[in-house]
């Protein structure tokens, strides 16, 4: 996974994890630990916290003795900003690695000094220089204004397109029928369809042809498990602003 790979590239040897105590937090924490350890790193501890929790002194005290190089935060801005504030105030941690849902000005403000305590973060992000992405961005901004700098906008569009095309291909809204049609509208080979080309796609379906949908977020090839290789952005904070270092494909 992207976070573990970047951490090792930065020569971080030990990480601690504090994560939301739900399916999202538990699953992502387990993935971070597995990927980081597979690359030769060590997780010194992983501690959960509850939604809407306001004090994290106990969790931070539990993790601090491991002397990790950085604390990985998995949660949302309200709790994440408080964790950073309390960790810095008590000097238990000085560097933080953030996951997708914490890419927020609120969190940068909590880190103080224009975010210099944030080592880096990762979030789903398309290769923004492709013709397909640029066309998607231009179309969005023509209709709605500036494209928001939040994760998942392009992916949400692609997911909606694939779902709608699968319904059209299946001629049904039954779950099993949609499932079976997804690869017929998303995977190659097939008629090349890009964002905004709904009429072209429907014409192909009516002609009995399969579709190869290439989305704003990139190719949408579903494997045997139903997964799609994702692109992630490696970002840092400079002068209080988010700056993308690179986008990478993660399979």
Has residue 205 got a pLDDT over 70? yes
Specify the pLDDT at position 166.
Answer: 96
Element (H, E) at 178: helix 175-186
Distances (CA, A) of 119 to 132, 235, 250: 31, 9, 20
Residue (of 222, 218, 215) closest to 201 by Cα position: 215
The per-residue pLDDT for range 134-150, each reduced to its tens digit, is 999 999 999 999 887 76
**Average confidence (pLDDT) over 80-87:** 92
pLDDT tens track for 41-54: 999 999 999 999 99
Average pLDDT, the chain: 88
User: Rounded mean pLDDT of 157-181?
Assistant: 95
**Percent of the chain surpassing pLDDT 90:** 57
Q: 82-107 b/e with 16+ CB inside 10 Å = b?
A: bbbbbbbeeebbebbbbbbbbbbeeb
Report the pLDDT value the prediction gives residue 102, as an integer from 0 to 100: 84
Q: How confident is the model at residue 70 (pLDDT cuts 50, 70, 90)?
A: very high
- pLDDT at residue 220 greater than cutoff 90: no
State the pLDDT at residue 237.
80
Match 């690179």 to its residue by tokens.
246
Does the pTM surpass 0.75? The reply is no
pLDDT of residue 78: 92
CATH class of the domain at 2-124+229-250: alpha beta
Residue 15, classed as helix, strand or coil, is strand
Tens of pLDDT, residues 106-144: 888 877 765 566 777 776 677 777 889 899 999 999 999
Instruction: Give me the residue spans of the domains in the chain.
Output: 2-124+229-250, 131-219
pLDDT at 224: 84
At 162, the pLDDT band (50, 70, 90 cuts) reads: very high
Q: How far is CA 5 from CA 32, 38, 117, 122, in A?
A: 10, 10, 20, 11
Return the percentage of the chain with pLDDT > 70, whole number: 93
């Amino acid at each position: 996974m992207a976070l573990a790979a970047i951490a090792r590239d930065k020569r971080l040897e030990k990480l601690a994890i504090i994560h939301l105590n739900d399916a999202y937090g538990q699953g992502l924490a387990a993935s971070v630990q597995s990927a980081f350890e597979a690359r030769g790193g060590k997780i010194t501890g992983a501690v959960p916290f509850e939604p809407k929790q306001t004090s994290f002194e106990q969790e931070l005290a539990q993790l601090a003795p491991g002397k990790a190089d950085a604390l990985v935060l998995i949660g949302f801005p309200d709790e994440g900003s408080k964790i950073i504030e309390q960790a810095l105030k008590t000097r238990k941690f000085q560097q933080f690695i953030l996951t997708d849902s914490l890419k927020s000005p609120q969190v940068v403000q909590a880190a103080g000094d224009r975010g210099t305590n944030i080592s880096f973060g990762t979030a789903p992000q398309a290769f923004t220089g492709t013709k397909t992405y640029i066309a998607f961005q231009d179309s969005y901004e023509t209709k709605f204004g500036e494209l928001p700098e939040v994760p998942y906008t392009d992916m949400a569009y692609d997911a909606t397109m694939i779902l709608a095309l699968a319904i059209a291909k299946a001629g049904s809204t039954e779950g099993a029928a949609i499932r079976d049609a997804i690869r017929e509208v998303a995977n190659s080979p097939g008629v090349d369809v890009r964002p905004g080309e709904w009429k072209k796609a429907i014409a192909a379906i009516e002609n009995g042809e399969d579709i190869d949908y290439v989305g704003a977020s990139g190719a949408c090839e579903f494997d045997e498990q139903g997964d799609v290789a994702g692109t992630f952005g490696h970002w840092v904070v400079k002068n209080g602003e988010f700056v993308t270092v690179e986008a990478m494909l993660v399979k």
